[in-house]
Amino acid sequence: RPITNFGAITWVDPAGIQTYNAFSARFEHRFSSGLYFLNSLTWSKSLGDTEQALEYFSGYYAANPQNIRNLAEERGPSSFDVTLMNVTSLVYQLPFGKGRRFGSRWNPVLDAVLGGWEMNSINTANSGLPIDVAYTPSTANDVTGRIPDYRGEAIMRPNLAGDPAGASGPAMLDAYFNKAAFAVPPTNAPFGNLGRNALRGLDFWQWDLGVHKSFRLPFRENAGLQFRSEFFNVLNHTNFGFPDANITDAAFGQIRTTYPARQIQFALKLVF
Protein backbone atom coordinates (compact mmCIF):
# COMPACT_ATOMS: atom_id res chain seq x y z
CA ARG A 1 0.00 0.00 0.00
CA PRO A 2 1.39 3.45 -0.84
CA ILE A 3 0.06 4.84 2.47
CA THR A 4 0.88 2.28 5.13
CA ASN A 5 -1.41 3.89 7.73
CA PHE A 6 -4.43 2.51 5.89
CA GLY A 7 -5.56 -1.01 6.65
CA ALA A 8 -6.90 -3.56 4.18
CA ILE A 9 -9.47 -2.14 1.77
CA THR A 10 -12.18 -4.42 0.38
CA TRP A 11 -13.31 -3.55 -3.11
CA VAL A 12 -16.40 -5.20 -4.60
CA ASP A 13 -16.78 -4.81 -8.34
CA PRO A 14 -19.74 -6.29 -10.31
CA ALA A 15 -17.52 -7.14 -13.25
CA GLY A 16 -17.68 -10.92 -13.41
CA ILE A 17 -19.22 -12.79 -16.32
CA GLN A 18 -20.26 -16.43 -16.11
CA THR A 19 -22.13 -18.49 -18.70
CA TYR A 20 -23.42 -22.04 -18.72
CA ASN A 21 -24.93 -23.75 -21.76
CA ALA A 22 -25.98 -27.37 -21.91
CA PHE A 23 -27.87 -30.00 -23.83
CA SER A 24 -29.45 -32.69 -21.70
CA ALA A 25 -31.15 -35.90 -22.81
CA ARG A 26 -32.86 -38.48 -20.63
CA PHE A 27 -34.26 -41.90 -21.45
CA GLU A 28 -36.27 -43.71 -18.79
CA HIS A 29 -38.34 -46.87 -18.93
CA ARG A 30 -39.87 -49.19 -16.36
CA PHE A 31 -40.43 -52.70 -17.68
CA SER A 32 -43.21 -54.95 -16.41
CA SER A 33 -40.65 -57.65 -15.61
CA GLY A 34 -39.21 -55.65 -12.70
CA LEU A 35 -36.46 -53.92 -14.67
CA TYR A 36 -35.98 -50.16 -14.45
CA PHE A 37 -33.63 -48.35 -16.86
CA LEU A 38 -32.46 -44.73 -16.82
CA ASN A 39 -29.82 -43.04 -18.97
CA SER A 40 -28.91 -39.36 -18.65
CA LEU A 41 -26.55 -37.53 -21.01
CA THR A 42 -25.31 -33.96 -20.54
CA TRP A 43 -23.21 -32.01 -23.01
CA SER A 44 -22.27 -28.68 -21.49
CA LYS A 45 -19.86 -25.78 -21.25
CA SER A 46 -19.28 -23.50 -18.25
CA LEU A 47 -17.17 -20.39 -18.93
CA GLY A 48 -16.29 -17.45 -16.74
CA ASP A 49 -13.65 -14.98 -15.65
CA THR A 50 -14.21 -14.51 -11.91
CA GLU A 51 -15.69 -17.69 -10.46
CA GLN A 52 -12.30 -18.78 -9.12
CA ALA A 53 -12.98 -16.80 -5.93
CA LEU A 54 -15.85 -19.22 -5.23
CA GLU A 55 -13.88 -22.24 -6.44
CA TYR A 56 -11.15 -21.40 -3.91
CA PHE A 57 -13.36 -22.39 -0.98
CA SER A 58 -14.12 -25.73 -2.65
CA GLY A 59 -10.44 -26.46 -3.17
CA TYR A 60 -10.57 -26.01 -6.93
CA TYR A 61 -8.47 -22.98 -7.62
CA ALA A 62 -6.25 -20.25 -6.25
CA ALA A 63 -8.60 -17.32 -5.78
CA ASN A 64 -6.67 -14.47 -7.34
CA PRO A 65 -6.50 -13.70 -11.08
CA GLN A 66 -2.99 -13.40 -12.49
CA ASN A 67 -3.69 -9.83 -13.62
CA ILE A 68 -6.44 -7.98 -11.75
CA ARG A 69 -6.37 -5.22 -14.40
CA ASN A 70 -7.26 -7.59 -17.20
CA LEU A 71 -10.03 -9.99 -16.22
CA ALA A 72 -10.59 -10.84 -19.87
CA GLU A 73 -7.45 -12.98 -19.63
CA GLU A 74 -9.19 -15.05 -16.96
CA ARG A 75 -12.07 -16.11 -19.18
CA GLY A 76 -11.93 -19.83 -19.59
CA PRO A 77 -13.59 -23.10 -18.58
CA SER A 78 -14.67 -23.36 -14.96
CA SER A 79 -12.61 -25.81 -12.93
CA PHE A 80 -15.72 -27.99 -12.53
CA ASP A 81 -16.55 -27.92 -16.25
CA VAL A 82 -17.24 -31.38 -17.69
CA THR A 83 -17.96 -31.39 -21.41
CA LEU A 84 -19.67 -34.79 -21.59
CA MET A 85 -21.30 -36.71 -18.75
CA ASN A 86 -23.25 -39.94 -19.18
CA VAL A 87 -24.83 -41.90 -16.33
CA THR A 88 -26.65 -45.20 -16.85
CA SER A 89 -28.68 -46.74 -14.02
CA LEU A 90 -30.34 -50.14 -13.79
CA VAL A 91 -32.54 -51.61 -11.08
CA TYR A 92 -33.68 -55.20 -11.47
CA GLN A 93 -35.88 -57.16 -9.09
CA LEU A 94 -35.08 -60.80 -9.67
CA PRO A 95 -38.37 -62.64 -10.42
CA PHE A 96 -38.04 -65.15 -7.57
CA GLY A 97 -39.88 -65.29 -4.27
CA LYS A 98 -43.23 -64.41 -2.80
CA GLY A 99 -45.09 -61.72 -4.75
CA ARG A 100 -42.93 -62.23 -7.84
CA ARG A 101 -43.23 -64.19 -11.06
CA PHE A 102 -41.61 -67.41 -9.87
CA GLY A 103 -41.71 -68.99 -6.44
CA SER A 104 -44.79 -67.27 -5.09
CA ARG A 105 -45.71 -70.53 -3.32
CA TRP A 106 -42.27 -71.39 -2.01
CA ASN A 107 -41.98 -72.44 1.59
CA PRO A 108 -40.55 -69.80 3.96
CA VAL A 109 -37.09 -71.40 4.10
CA LEU A 110 -36.63 -71.51 0.32
CA ASP A 111 -38.03 -68.00 -0.05
CA ALA A 112 -35.61 -66.72 2.60
CA VAL A 113 -32.66 -68.08 0.60
CA LEU A 114 -33.63 -67.45 -3.03
CA GLY A 115 -36.45 -64.91 -2.95
CA GLY A 116 -36.47 -61.14 -2.60
CA TRP A 117 -33.18 -60.36 -4.34
CA GLU A 118 -32.59 -57.06 -6.13
CA MET A 119 -29.67 -55.76 -8.18
CA ASN A 120 -28.80 -52.19 -9.09
CA SER A 121 -26.05 -50.77 -11.23
CA ILE A 122 -24.69 -47.29 -11.94
CA ASN A 123 -22.23 -46.67 -14.75
CA THR A 124 -20.63 -43.21 -14.82
CA ALA A 125 -18.50 -41.92 -17.69
CA ASN A 126 -17.34 -38.35 -18.24
CA SER A 127 -14.71 -36.39 -20.10
CA GLY A 128 -11.74 -34.89 -18.28
CA LEU A 129 -11.78 -31.86 -16.01
CA PRO A 130 -9.79 -28.73 -16.88
CA ILE A 131 -6.14 -28.34 -15.88
CA ASP A 132 -4.70 -24.93 -15.11
CA VAL A 133 -0.98 -24.97 -15.91
CA ALA A 134 0.95 -22.38 -13.93
CA TYR A 135 4.37 -21.39 -12.65
CA THR A 136 5.62 -19.93 -9.39
CA PRO A 137 6.67 -16.32 -10.04
CA SER A 138 9.73 -14.61 -8.69
CA THR A 139 9.35 -12.57 -5.52
CA ALA A 140 9.36 -9.41 -7.63
CA ASN A 141 5.99 -10.44 -9.08
CA ASP A 142 4.46 -11.98 -5.96
CA VAL A 143 1.72 -9.64 -4.76
CA THR A 144 1.61 -9.69 -0.96
CA GLY A 145 -0.62 -8.27 1.71
CA ARG A 146 -3.88 -9.58 0.29
CA ILE A 147 -6.64 -10.84 2.57
CA PRO A 148 -5.77 -14.53 3.23
CA ASP A 149 -9.27 -15.79 2.39
CA TYR A 150 -9.01 -14.41 -1.13
CA ARG A 151 -5.30 -14.48 -1.72
CA GLY A 152 -4.94 -18.02 -2.95
CA GLU A 153 -1.53 -19.12 -4.13
CA ALA A 154 1.08 -16.98 -5.83
CA ILE A 155 0.77 -18.48 -9.30
CA MET A 156 0.81 -17.19 -12.85
CA ARG A 157 0.38 -18.86 -16.20
CA PRO A 158 3.30 -19.55 -18.54
CA ASN A 159 3.77 -18.95 -22.23
CA LEU A 160 2.71 -21.69 -24.62
CA ALA A 161 5.14 -22.13 -27.50
CA GLY A 162 4.15 -25.48 -29.01
CA ASP A 163 1.91 -28.52 -28.81
CA PRO A 164 1.33 -29.24 -25.09
CA ALA A 165 0.33 -32.89 -25.63
CA GLY A 166 2.78 -35.31 -24.05
CA ALA A 167 3.33 -39.03 -24.36
CA SER A 168 0.62 -41.65 -24.81
CA GLY A 169 0.17 -45.09 -23.29
CA PRO A 170 2.05 -46.01 -20.08
CA ALA A 171 4.68 -43.31 -20.75
CA MET A 172 1.91 -40.75 -20.20
CA LEU A 173 2.27 -41.18 -16.44
CA ASP A 174 5.71 -39.54 -16.56
CA ALA A 175 5.11 -37.09 -19.40
CA TYR A 176 1.47 -36.04 -19.64
CA PHE A 177 2.63 -32.68 -20.98
CA ASN A 178 5.27 -31.79 -23.53
CA LYS A 179 7.57 -29.81 -21.25
CA ALA A 180 9.28 -28.11 -24.18
CA ALA A 181 5.99 -26.42 -25.11
CA PHE A 182 5.98 -24.22 -21.98
CA ALA A 183 8.22 -21.34 -21.00
CA VAL A 184 8.42 -19.07 -17.97
CA PRO A 185 7.81 -15.45 -19.05
CA PRO A 186 10.46 -12.83 -18.34
CA THR A 187 10.27 -10.93 -15.06
CA ASN A 188 9.33 -7.66 -16.76
CA ALA A 189 6.40 -9.33 -18.58
CA PRO A 190 5.22 -12.04 -16.17
CA PHE A 191 1.76 -12.76 -17.58
CA GLY A 192 1.89 -15.72 -19.95
CA ASN A 193 -0.26 -16.27 -23.02
CA LEU A 194 -1.69 -19.61 -21.86
CA GLY A 195 -5.38 -19.36 -20.99
CA ARG A 196 -6.90 -20.34 -17.66
CA ASN A 197 -7.90 -24.01 -17.49
CA ALA A 198 -6.78 -24.38 -21.10
CA LEU A 199 -5.87 -28.08 -20.91
CA ARG A 200 -7.82 -31.19 -19.92
CA GLY A 201 -7.25 -34.17 -17.68
CA LEU A 202 -8.05 -37.79 -18.41
CA ASP A 203 -11.53 -39.20 -18.90
CA PHE A 204 -13.24 -40.96 -15.99
CA TRP A 205 -15.17 -44.22 -16.07
CA GLN A 206 -16.55 -46.31 -13.21
CA TRP A 207 -19.13 -49.04 -12.69
CA ASP A 208 -20.82 -49.51 -9.31
CA LEU A 209 -22.94 -52.53 -8.42
CA GLY A 210 -25.28 -53.37 -5.57
CA VAL A 211 -26.99 -56.63 -4.57
CA HIS A 212 -29.72 -56.54 -1.93
CA LYS A 213 -31.90 -59.12 -0.21
CA SER A 214 -35.11 -58.34 1.68
CA PHE A 215 -36.53 -60.49 4.47
CA ARG A 216 -39.98 -60.27 6.02
CA LEU A 217 -40.10 -60.27 9.81
CA PRO A 218 -42.81 -62.55 11.22
CA PHE A 219 -43.56 -60.53 14.35
CA ARG A 220 -44.64 -57.38 12.51
CA GLU A 221 -46.54 -57.17 9.23
CA ASN A 222 -44.87 -54.06 7.80
CA ALA A 223 -41.37 -54.72 9.16
CA GLY A 224 -38.50 -56.11 7.17
CA LEU A 225 -34.79 -56.68 7.18
CA GLN A 226 -32.59 -55.82 4.21
CA PHE A 227 -29.11 -57.15 3.58
CA ARG A 228 -27.08 -54.85 1.32
CA SER A 229 -23.81 -55.55 -0.47
CA GLU A 230 -22.34 -52.67 -2.45
CA PHE A 231 -19.35 -52.72 -4.79
CA PHE A 232 -17.89 -49.37 -5.84
CA ASN A 233 -15.66 -49.55 -8.92
CA VAL A 234 -16.56 -53.24 -9.13
CA LEU A 235 -14.15 -53.92 -12.03
CA ASN A 236 -11.31 -52.17 -10.17
CA HIS A 237 -10.75 -49.94 -13.17
CA THR A 238 -7.87 -47.50 -12.67
CA ASN A 239 -8.83 -43.85 -13.12
CA PHE A 240 -5.76 -41.65 -12.95
CA GLY A 241 -5.73 -38.29 -11.20
CA PHE A 242 -4.30 -34.96 -12.33
CA PRO A 243 -0.71 -34.44 -13.40
CA ASP A 244 1.50 -31.92 -11.64
CA ALA A 245 0.63 -28.68 -13.43
CA ASN A 246 3.32 -26.30 -12.15
CA ILE A 247 6.07 -26.02 -14.76
CA THR A 248 8.61 -24.96 -12.13
CA ASP A 249 8.16 -28.25 -10.25
CA ALA A 250 10.55 -31.12 -10.88
CA ALA A 251 7.51 -33.43 -11.16
CA PHE A 252 5.75 -31.30 -13.79
CA GLY A 253 3.62 -33.47 -16.07
CA GLN A 254 3.85 -36.55 -13.85
CA ILE A 255 0.71 -38.40 -12.69
CA ARG A 256 1.13 -39.96 -9.27
CA THR A 257 -2.44 -40.22 -7.99
CA THR A 258 -5.48 -42.34 -8.79
CA TYR A 259 -9.12 -42.32 -7.85
CA PRO A 260 -10.17 -44.97 -5.29
CA ALA A 261 -9.78 -48.63 -6.20
CA ARG A 262 -12.56 -51.18 -5.69
CA GLN A 263 -14.40 -50.74 -2.40
CA ILE A 264 -16.84 -53.27 -0.93
CA GLN A 265 -19.23 -52.68 1.94
CA PHE A 266 -21.96 -54.72 3.60
CA ALA A 267 -24.87 -53.44 5.65
CA LEU A 268 -27.96 -54.71 7.43
CA LYS A 269 -30.96 -52.39 7.37
CA LEU A 270 -34.09 -52.63 9.50
CA VAL A 271 -37.21 -51.26 7.80
CA PHE A 272 -40.40 -50.66 9.79
pTM of the model: 0.80
- Note the pLDDT tens digit of each residue in 104-113: 788 878 887 8
Choose among 91, 89, 88: nearest CA to 34.
Answer: 91
Type of residue at 234: V
Give the span between the Cα atoms of 105 and 126, in whole angstroms.
45
According to DSSP H, which parts of 8-106 are helical?
Answer: 52-57
* Banded model confidence at residue 140, pLDDT cuts 50, 70, 90: low
Q: Is the pLDDT of residue 214 over 90?
A: no
Q: Are strands 130-131 and 84-93 parallel, antiparallel or unpaired?
A: unpaired
* Banded model confidence at residue 96, pLDDT cuts 50, 70, 90: confident
Domain segments of the chain as ranges: 34-271
For residues 157-168, give the mean pLDDT.
Answer: 92
pLDDT computed for residue 233 by the predictor: 98
Angle among Cα 56, 60, 65 to the nearest 5 degrees reads: 55
User: Do 136 and 154 touch, CB atoms closer than 8 A?
Assistant: yes
For residues 83-108, give the mean pLDDT.
Answer: 88
* Banded model confidence at residue 223, pLDDT cuts 50, 70, 90: confident
For residues 149-175, give the mean pLDDT.
Answer: 81
Residues in the chain: 272
* Banded model confidence at residue 39, pLDDT cuts 50, 70, 90: very high
pLDDT computed for residue 145 by the predictor: 45
Tell me what percent of the residues of the chain surpass a pLDDT of 70: 86
pLDDT computed for residue 183 by the predictor: 94
Give the span between the Cα atoms of 73 and 77, in whole angstroms.
12
